[in-house]
Structure 1
């Protein structure tokens, strides 16, 4: 049996495509949703599924290697025809699925999905779970599935708002109206982790979960709290940049030692992303600088390099003490197009790669880097080639 089309299928597809999330790389926020759905419902398979014109595509998945399925064979194409949970307790006795070849090929005996709704109207996908045995969800599991679907909707909405805010920011940059851009961008960056924290708090308060699931909830909330603190630190720095009030505590420092510390601090993140991080700073590199501020600069540059370097890529930090003290950070990442290079140090600028890779951040990191280096009367230069990588060269007074 073929599922009926939703009432406004063209509008639904328009909302889905406007989110620009189809065929994007995995993201931790969505991966967590799929995993939690599977754990809470006690099923081997869980997914965040998006239903396109002719296919179902998994933005996140647990327990399967499939990237998706033809829409005609999908359970989720039935779920998106309403705003309620669809539960198929036994596919063998359901005429919609009993003869479905995908159901029989993969021994899919149970399905439950909650619709992911955009604009309060369009069900563009689902948070769903599948089992190889017939079963029935508890009321608490159905509530959790609905809550996770709402959380997925918020994540999609925020990504769409962020992109629109970026487009607005580009126009405002041309008109020198950075105030509105600032408000739009910061609103998005604050709402994303706050919405995540709130969603998981709601679930923790609603039901009793086992210790493992509760720990995972708290881990997600802790990660998003750290993200909020980083954003606030960046905003405070921007306020100081705006008023030309960056205060420096100058002293004799060793840039090589600061590079060692920054590399050690970022190594866990690099390993998590599957990126090699090499520290080739060996000889002391004396300079006169604010050690805490330069450590902040190096952290921004290394995190940026890790963020835009694919797994199995490499990042190298090197130094020279000949002439002016200099550090270089070279990566084999995605690179930056030539027409974007003049803007990379602008406040709130996000390059095309940041949008494609759904990289977090309001576009303040490199602007902060340049302001700190300028306050030291130093220089920072960036060279890049798409598909080859990027080199950042940092020079300070001796």
Structure 2
């Protein structure tokens, strides 16, 4: 049987498309959800499934080779009719699914359980679901865990929608300067949503007894979201201060080459994880005067940015040199920036299209912070980029 359309189908699809997640690359947060759902429920298959107009697309999957299926064959098309978990103990005796080709196939689907992923507290756009080839039933603890994972998936989608709205609002902020403080206050409030992720995992840890490995996975996800939240709030607080006053510096004599060594050491684990080469081209000492903490913050932003936008096998070099004036030069072989986007890359909250395509997280504040820090030093930032070739950023400080 084909599932009827939900009463809120039009608004439901609008909410799903607004999240801008369909057909995006895999992401660790969603992969963790699918894996945990499978492990907690003891099923060979776990999915984060999103129901589009004519298809069911899998944002994350465990034990499944398909990327999508036709909507009329989808169990999740029934689950999105409400906000309660849908459980099918044996699909062969359920008139809604008995004739489904995935049920009739050899070693076909027998068991299904899906918790709706609800946006705005209203629209079910998909599910976190588990599937098995034998009939079964979930325990109460497993049902609670599946619902908590669905709430976590909803939080991740809401963050995407918020980031997209933030970009739209930022366009208006460039024209209406008086709206900045209000907007930043709203952003600071909305960025608390990662706390919902942490709370969801805490609920599961407190409600049930999990083995050590599953508990470790829970804690790892919580730690990652906590770190992300702290970074975002730190950046927002810095940008908020910049709307009222310039950055306060604590200038001192420093060596830019040593600064490069420190930042590379901090960023190397991320580069190795992305399989990107990270090379220190600085030679002898490069004396300069500035705020070492702020300059390290700017350089770290640029190096992390380069790693995020450089594919596996790519190369990044960082050099500290002097040609009359002290300079830091960061060159990558990443995706590059189209010429139309170059005038906007230092704008607050600006995210280039490649950030959406590559599912790079962040509110678009990094380059704006870099420019503010260098401006406060009375220096300059110059960026050259070519799509498909790479990007070079040159930070120049005044003579001592």
Class of the TM-score when normalised by the shorter of the 2 chains: over 0.9
CA offset at residue 62 of structure 1? 1.7
| Contact in 1 for aligned 2:380/2:396 (Cα 8 Å) | yes
Range moving further from structure 2, 120-129 or 312-321: 312-321
Q: Which residues of 2 match residues 148-167 of structure 1 at below 5 A? A: 148-167=149-168
Farther off after superposition, 172-181 or 47-56:
172-181
| SS of equivalent to 2:48 | strand
Closer/same/farther in 2, CA of residues 16 and 362 from structure 1, 3 Å limit: closer
Say if 1:109 and 1:374 are closer, same or farther in 2 by CA, change over 3 A. Answer: same
- Matching residue of 2:223: 222
Equivalent residue for 1:116? 117
Given the superposition, is the C-alpha separation of residues 184 and 310 from structure 1 closer, same or farther in structure 2, using an over 3 Å criterion?
A: farther
Shift, 1:107, TM fit: 3.2
- Asked whether the 8 Å contact 1:284–1:321 carries over to 2, the reply is no
Instruction: Give 1:179's aligned residue.
Output: 181
Q: Distance in 1 between matches of 2:378 and 2:62?
A: 51
Is 1:65 matched with 2:65?
Answer: yes
- 2:50 maps to 1:26: no
Deviation digits for residues 192-211 of structure 1, max 9, x if unmatched? Answer: 32121122122222222222
Q: CA deviation at 1:392?
A: 0.6
Distance 1:293 1:358, change over 3 A: same
Determine whether 1:252 maps to 2:256. Answer: no
Mapping of 1:302-317 within 5 angstroms? 302-317=303-318
Deviation larger for 319-328 or 370-379: 319-328
> Is residue 390 from structure 1 mapped to residue 399 from structure 2 by the alignment?
no
Correspondence 1:114-153 to 2 at 5 A: 114-153=115-154
**What CA distance in whole angstroms lies between the structure 2 residues aligned with 1:341 and 1:26?**
27
Report what 1:323 is aligned to: 324
The CA deviation string for residues 56-112 of structure 1, in whole angstroms up to 9 with x for no partner, is: 101111222321112222221222223222222223333433343233256333211
Q: Is the 8 A contact 1:166 1:185 kept in 2?
A: no
Determine if contact 1:162/1:185 at 8 Å carries over to the other structure: no
What stretches of structure 2 of length at least 5 have no aligned partner? none
- Does the 8 Å CA contact 1:110/1:133 hold for their aligned counterparts? yes
Asked whether the 8 Å contact 1:185–1:362 carries over to 2, the reply is: no
SS in 2 for 1:204: helix
Aligned-partner Cα distance in 2 for 1:88–1:57: 20
Whether 1:52 and 2:52 are equivalent positions in the alignment is yes
Q: Separation in 2 of the partners of 1:211 and 1:278?
A: 38
In structure 2, how many angstroms separate the alpha carbons of the residues matched to 1:217 and 1:157? 21
Distance 2:109 2:51 in 1: 19
Structure 1 residue 41: deviation in Å?
0.6
TM-score (norm 1): 0.92
Is the Cα contact below 8 Å between 2:112 and 2:130 reproduced in 1?
A: yes
Shift of 1:163: 1.3
Partner of 1:10: 10
Per-residue CA deviation, residues 330-382 of structure 1 (Å, 9 max, x unaligned), is 22223223232222222333333334444332322212211221222221111
Q: Flag the 1:5–1:36 CA change in 2: closer, same or farther, 3 A.
A: same
Q: 1:270, CA displacement in angstroms? A: 1.6
Counterparts in 2 of 1:235 and 1:79: CA distance versus 1, 3 Å: closer
Q: 1:170, CA displacement in angstroms?
A: 0.8
Distance 1:349 1:324 in 2: 30
In structure 2, distance between residues paired with 1:239 and 1:88: 51
Specify whether residues 181 and 282 from structure 1 end up closer, same or farther in structure 2 by C-alpha distance, changes over 3 A only: same
Deviation at 1:243, TM superposition (A): 4.3
Contact 2:48 2:129 in 1 (8 A): yes
1:253-268 matches, within 5 Å, as 253-268=254-269
1:253-304 alpha-carbon deviations (Å, 9 max, x no partner)? 2212211211111111122223222222233322222222221111111111
Indicate the larger mover: 136-145 or 200-209: 200-209
Cα RMSD after superposing both structures: 2.1
- CA spacing shift, 1:335–1:186, aligned 2, 3 Å: farther
Q: Does 1:90 align with 2:77?
A: no
C-alpha contact 1:163 1:355 (8 A) present in aligned 2: no
**Aligned partners of 2:245, 2:5: CA distance in 1, in Å?**
58
8 Å contact from structure 1 (residues 13, 53) kept in 2: yes
Alignment gaps of 5+ in structure 1: none
Aligned to 1:100: 100
Secondary structure at the aligned position of 1:59 is classed as: strand
Q: 2:165 and 2:234 mapped to 1: Cα distance?
A: 24
